[in-house]
Structure 1
């Protein structure tokens, strides 16, 4: 209780404070004798200065999300026409005159047309939860580690696959909290990187981690995979990690992927597959594919050189395995 009262005034309880004393006797003579008065007020001032510095840092880091980087790549999600950047603060549609503002406190650009009915599939509701975004890099995403590889190994696989192409524009579709996005950005091999996700909380966590790691080399956009606000034939490489099984309509997402990619652009994706019948794969919130199904889904959308690699997993996880899909447009 005492800690909560101190927190309301913006400072923490000194370690040497007596637990028996209450907030109301802070200025009591006995308390002042017990504590060093100068030390007490220095703690108060120090905490206030820290909060001011933190706010200044947040103000300067808002320039990380630069709209000019992506103005020539994105389109209006409403009418599919070009957007123009104005003062690096907003994007305006030249056709429907709709304006998309950038909120510096959020760290991402919202180019998503929300579902007016309010209905969201269970897969989307789960990742909308702030608890999921908090736990995602703290263990959730490591489910793939028990199925064949770690996140660090996945980043290496992606960079090795994209290396011969030397892509200029790279998109991390369903980027989540942006772990792979940050690692790819730090390689400085790509001129522009865009992380796209539908979950606001995932993007907030991605922006928070971007600031912590001082990595300002990519842009975050909130959008739906079935209606990507990206121009046709502008993306050189696309990464989609641990996401296909979460999409409500995989065919629509793959069609959008194909549309935004340049000819011969590369795709690297990971997902779960099931060794059981297709009926099992649809009896839960996620969709567990089979190898043949993944090959058919990508080929039916026009992708070439589709290679689905099934990774070996421990015996305890034999009913579900991970798959890597490599292909090109």
Structure 2
């Protein structure tokens, strides 16, 4: 719905890359890239009071630069204020602290990922998660996921990581150059591919599992290109409570993830919220059955508790449509489906 013009609203600046001036000379991290505005387009708007920070331009010591943060408080969705070096990369995020001025809640990095869950910082309360959620928080499963577990998906029709990446890239062509969030990224199998492609201005690898994010960082450390040159950040978050401002993200990817979510409706509603107009959501998952599945097997799968939320192709399309997404498209191979939908 269109918003009336207000003196509190300013256009989102177009972003360009400059060297980050905030790292000390003896830092273990080399200089990284961060986002700075170049000019002001006339499309989307944000609240300057909470989203835009001022910092000196070191090239002239006279001009002021505005930094746009897309991360938001998972409690109230107020854009977070950052203290520390700017940038959407491992070193900048690790050295920064974030605070919500509305909730007065602070967030910080841990083991190279930024914890933006509602439960971040809790001392006494422990929330019980569904078994399939806890499974992927296991250190053993996190270790094995990219070392054999994920490859077993090929038996169900998954075409393999390289082909899946190419398929996703085709769907993401309309939003090349934007910010991509890889939700339920696991060990970062596709997050790293998106970052290395150089096509996106920033990639956020997001998962609820701390151990999956640690595995992701271990893989990143083995790749000098990712460690030193990419705009890749690691964030812990709940897919049903995504810590990003509304309309701030260009692309969302969820590989082999939807069947693991406790509430696909809440998750896709959240994905729709954070996408910009024209933003693209691409996901893949296992189908409960397809049109070629024998009737007896269909009935069995309908009545058997599987521990995972496998959906039919019709249910996935209906879910995307009910959350306001359009231009639904899909590719199916055996029990594998990759689908795409767009925010109007």
Could you say whether these structures have the same fold, taking a TM-score greater than 0.5 normalized by the shorter chain as the test?
yes
Paired with 1:199 and 1:63, the residues of 2 have a C-alpha distance of 29
Identify if the C-alpha distance between structure 1 residues 224 and 65 changes in structure 2 by more than 3 Å, giving closer, same or farther.
farther
The reply on whether 1:75 has 2:76 as its aligned counterpart is no
Residue of structure 1 in register with 2:318 after alignment: 296
After superposition, the CA RMSD in angstroms is 2.5
Paired with 1:122 and 1:64, the residues of 2 have a C-alpha distance of 39
Determine if contact 1:100/1:110 at 8 Å carries over to the other structure.
yes
Paired with 2:236 and 2:177, the residues of 1 have a C-alpha distance of 22
Q: CA deviation at 1:235?
A: 0.9
The superposition leaves residues 34-67 of structure 1 with CA deviations (integer Å, 9 ceiling, x where unpaired) of xxxxxxxxxxxxxxxxxxxxxxxxx714987989
Residue of structure 1 in register with 2:259 after alignment: 245
TM normalised by structure 1 equals 0.74
Greater share of residues in helix: 1
The reply on whether 1:108 has 2:122 as its aligned counterpart is no
- Structure 2 unpaired stretches of 5+: 1-26, 37-66, 86-95, 290-297
Alignment of 1:153-192 (within 5 A): 153-192=163-202
Counterpart selection for 2:274 from 245, 260, 267:
260
Whose radius of gyration is greater, 1 or 2? Answer: 1
Identify if the C-alpha distance between structure 1 residues 67 and 75 changes in structure 2 by more than 3 Å, giving closer, same or farther.
farther
Identify if the C-alpha distance between structure 1 residues 325 and 101 changes in structure 2 by more than 3 Å, giving closer, same or farther.
same
Residue of structure 1 in register with 2:338 after alignment: 324
Q: CA deviation at 1:79?
A: 2.6
Residue of structure 2 in register with 1:226 after alignment: 240
Paired with 2:247 and 2:130, the residues of 1 have a C-alpha distance of 29
The reply on whether 1:145 has 2:154 as its aligned counterpart is yes
Counterpart selection for 2:28 from 57, 60, 75:
60
The reply on whether 1:84 has 2:94 as its aligned counterpart is no
Paired with 1:149 and 1:199, the residues of 2 have a C-alpha distance of 25
Paired with 1:77 and 1:120, the residues of 2 have a C-alpha distance of 18
Q: CA deviation at 1:96?
A: 2.2
Determine if contact 2:256/2:286 at 8 Å carries over to the other structure.
yes
Determine if contact 1:281/1:289 at 8 Å carries over to the other structure.
no
Count of residue pairs the alignment pairs up? 261
TM normalised by structure 2 equals 0.71
Paired with 2:135 and 2:170, the residues of 1 have a C-alpha distance of 32
* SS, match of residue 128 in structure 1: coil
Q: CA deviation at 1:291?
A: 1.2
Residue of structure 2 in register with 1:37 after alignment: none
Residue of structure 2 in register with 1:305 after alignment: 327
Between stretches 163-172 and 152-161, larger displacement belongs to 163-172
Paired with 1:203 and 1:67, the residues of 2 have a C-alpha distance of 24
Paired with 1:301 and 1:246, the residues of 2 have a C-alpha distance of 19
Identify if the C-alpha distance between structure 1 residues 67 and 262 changes in structure 2 by more than 3 Å, giving closer, same or farther.
closer
The reply on whether 1:210 has 2:220 as its aligned counterpart is yes
Determine if contact 1:67/1:85 at 8 Å carries over to the other structure.
no
* SS, match of residue 274 in structure 1: coil
Q: CA deviation at 1:281?
A: 7.3
Residue of structure 2 in register with 1:285 after alignment: 307
Greater share of residues in strand: 2
- Structure 1 unpaired stretches of 5+: 1-58, 313-320
Determine if contact 1:167/1:237 at 8 Å carries over to the other structure.
no
Paired with 1:228 and 1:125, the residues of 2 have a C-alpha distance of 19
Determine if contact 2:288/2:301 at 8 Å carries over to the other structure.
no
